[in-house]
Amino acid sequence: MIRIPISMERRPAGPVAERLRRVVRATLDRLGIDDAEVSLVLTGDGRLEELNRTWRGIGAPTDVLSFPDGETLPDGLRFLGEIVISVDTARAQARRLGHSLERELEELTLHGVLHLAGFDHEADGGEMERLELDLREELLP
């Protein structure tokens, strides 16, 4: 069982919750992870700037941050952690890249799930990037 609570502090224009849940489920399935919970928060640049400053020492917003956990919950699921996405930055990136906001949110969600699963693009010699590109092609329409 995979559980994916979503909190929308900043709502995108269209419905995205089920699309993002599908990305989380498909990515975890592809990685062989089940019986897990992933929390997803859609918010704005202000919150991401605050989190980025607190946890990374960078006083600027970013598109996505992941907070891995791994603790076993009372119901037996493993809490993989929380993914926090700035809808503001995602919207700007989508415009710049020429695709929809929904597509950008899916890509950022995929990126966040890979971090929760233990991948680290800053230290793995390109492994996460290659996997992420393969999964985008495989899982995202």
- pLDDT tens readout for residues 88-103: 999 999 999 999 999 9
Q: Where along the chain do its domains lie?
A: 2-139
The pLDDT, as a whole number, for residue 13 is 72
The pLDDT, as a whole number, for residue 123 is 81
Residue 140 is which amino acid? L
Q: Is the pLDDT of residue 56 over 80?
A: yes
**Arch. (CATH architecture) of 2-139:** 3-Layer(aba) Sandwich (3.40)
Span 110-125, mean pLDDT?
A: 90
